[in-house]
Amino acid sequence: MVKKFRPVFTNEAIVLGAALLITLPLRTIQHLTNMEQGTGFYLKVDWNIIVYGIVLAAAMGYFIFSAVKRKKKILLETAPVKLPGCGALSFLTAFAVAYGAYNDYRLSKLDASQYTVSSTATSAINGSLSNIQFVVGAIAAVFFLILSVLFLAGKASSTVKLLSLTPVLWFILKLVVRFTRTVSYIRVSDLAMEMISLVLLALFFMAFAQTNSNIEAEGTAWKLEGFGFPAALMCLNMFVPRIVIALAGKAEFKYILSYADFSDLALALFIVATVLTRIIPNTANIIVTPSAEVETAE
């Protein structure tokens, strides 16, 4: 009898939920009490920051360890199947990414020279990168829109091979632009946290492009889980505290060149939906046994 298994992410979902319950309030308190206005630098190291860092590191470590354990057991479903939930989230992500690309472009024109590495050459390069970033972001939005149509129509999502690279390029360009801004890795500025989020997003979507396009995808799906959950955790840690302080009328407590980016929220939801609904068993690892028990890929 064939002993089947199904990917089960109950523990990962619990860890993600618990980490968010702890880190989101801590991050919001940091914005209001322990961040330098404008720069987003920590004013001092206190218990809040230590607990926050430990929880983030522990959760991310667990996600990566858990994913590596499943390395040969899972793959990404790319068959033509209707996925209305993923279709709706892809549609939401398309508009959120387009809006985020516009906001990044608008902020790049903001006169905030005290928060950037100042030189004529750097300013010119930053301006060019911002323009390219805007164009690539718009194309990435088109990718998510096409993905939405494919999911809703039940068509194979692997048909958009080249476009699937545009989110990766967009995150890399966003990261490069942020390297031209004043950042503190010692006082761990808000910008540094944003850069960590972008690295994780780039790693997730690099694996997504490879697996979704079926290009040497064997043994790669674990990266969707291993980098996806940490990326979702960081995205929500960027979005939620910023939207809370903005709604509370305390926008002056955030980094001057940051904003509550709805693409962070949309991307987090897209990532979680992808992991929970599209990762399936790798049938090459189904084992023939005399029992008919169902094994879960814990």
What pLDDT score was predicted for residue 82?
Answer: 86
> 118: exposed, middle or buried (C-beta count within 10 Å: 0-12, 13-18, 19+)?
exposed
Q: Tell me: pLDDT of 126 over 70.
A: no
Nearest to residue 145, comparing CAs of 102, 201, 88? 88
Most confident residue range from 72-76, 120-124, 252-256: 72-76
**pTM score, whole prediction:** 0.86
- Using 50, 70 and 90 to split pLDDT, how confident is the model at 186? low
Alpha helices per DSSP H over the chain:
10-33, 47-69, 84-108, 120-153, 166-178, 190-212, 222-247, 262-278
Beta-sheet pairing, 279-281 with 74-76: antiparallel
Check residue 70 and report its DSSP letter.
T
- Using 50, 70 and 90 to split pLDDT, how confident is the model at 296? very low
Check residue 115 and report its DSSP letter.
G
